[in-house]
């Protein structure tokens, strides 16, 4: 399989996709993977999609996870891995309160595993990372929050999503053995994100855990007109900055 190829597959198409679109699932394998490997799965839920771009962040633009993870894999900074983006182009993808309605992480892992099987790859069910960017981590009923407490997900990675006391309580209160990493920037937001409230709640709950290192809150100094997207584009977000957030360890375990 070519290192740039995205394998597509149907996944909840009727709810996630606009009429005329098909195959909401897309998965790509890093260039250091070899047939027969059991791969960790990095699931990425993208943000609002008013332009109805199919498989955003795996769609051959500047914002493409292959351009981020591929060089990290070539440099040995991450182990072999599969990167998957469930697409959403339906009306629900236009608002934070409705994006990724009732997303089912376990069903998506199963669908990605079936799609990879003919290529000789398997998903390592003990190494599933559910990440979300922007609006896909805002509604407590949908998107990223469907992974909290879900035994199919070992690591939750929140990338610059909504932040307030309620989201801090839900993420900080995840099961003790589920790793939760929150990476954010505060350069460009003036829309009601309550960083201090989130931080107090998240860290208070983390301090009660047998292993508080399973909760990480990391502020990135990202500046500029597109800081919100640039935080994803920074290799530090994926190859990870501090201790337990290091995806190098996650992908090589």
Give residue-wise pLDDT tens across range 56-101. Answer: 889 877 778 998 888 888 888 788 999 999 999 999 999 999 999 9
3-class secondary structure, 157: strand
Cβ contacts of residue 225 below 8 Å, gap of 6+? Answer: 188
Q: What domains sit in the chain, N to C, each tagged with a CATH number?
A: 7-252 (3.40.50.1820)
Per-residue CA distances from 153 to 37, 63, 120, 127, 218 (Å): 19, 25, 23, 8, 20
Question: What is the pLDDT at residue 237?
Answer: 53
Tell me the C-alpha distance between 72 and 66, whole Å.
Answer: 10
Cβ contacts of residue 15 below 8 Å, gap of 6+? Answer: 90, 92, 101
pLDDT at 118 over 80: yes
Give residue-wise pLDDT tens across range 161-203. Answer: 999 999 999 999 999 999 999 989 888 876 668 989 999 999 9
Question: What is the pLDDT at residue 232?
Answer: 82
Per-residue CA distances from 45 to 40, 88, 112, 158, 205 (Å): 16, 9, 14, 10, 25
The phi and psi torsions of 113 (rounded to 5 degrees) equal -65, -40
Q: Find the Cα–Cα–Cα–Cα dihedral 103, 105, 111, 116, rounded to 10°.
A: 130
Tell me which residue has tokens 């860290």. 203
Question: What is the pLDDT at residue 11?
Answer: 97
CA end-to-end span of the chain: 24
């Amino acid at each position: 399989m070519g290192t740039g190829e995205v394998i597509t597959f149907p996944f909840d198409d009727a709810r996630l996709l606009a009429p005329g679109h098909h195959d909401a699932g897309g998965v790509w394998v890093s260039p250091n993977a070899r047939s027969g490997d059991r791969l960790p799965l990095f699931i990425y839920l993208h943000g609002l999609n008013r332009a109805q771009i199919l498989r955003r962040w795996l769609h051959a633009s500047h914002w493409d996870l292959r351009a981020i993870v591929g060089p990290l894999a070539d440099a040995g900074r991450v182990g072999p891995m599969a990167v998957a983006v469930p697409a959403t182009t339906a009306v629900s993808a236009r608002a934070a309160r409705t994006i990724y309605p009732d997303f089912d992480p376990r069903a998506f892992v199963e669908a990605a595993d079936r799609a990879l099987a003919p290529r000789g790859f398997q998903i390592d069910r003990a190494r599933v990372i559910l990440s979300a960017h922007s609006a896909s981590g805002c509604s407590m009923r949908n998107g990223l929050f469907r992974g909290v407490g879900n035994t199919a997900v070992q690591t939750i990675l929140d990338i610059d999503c909504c932040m307030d006391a309620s989201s801090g309580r839900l993420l900080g209160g995840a099961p003790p053995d589920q790793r939760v990493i929150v990476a954010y920037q505060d350069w460009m937001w003036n829309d009601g994100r309550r960083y201090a409230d989130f931080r107090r709640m998240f860290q208070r709950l983390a301090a009660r855990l047998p292993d508080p290192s399973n909760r990480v809150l990391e502020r990135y100094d990202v500046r500029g007109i597109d800081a919100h997207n640039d935080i994803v584009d920074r290799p530090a977000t994926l190859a990870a900055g501090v201790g337990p957030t290091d995806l190098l360890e996650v992908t090589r375990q």
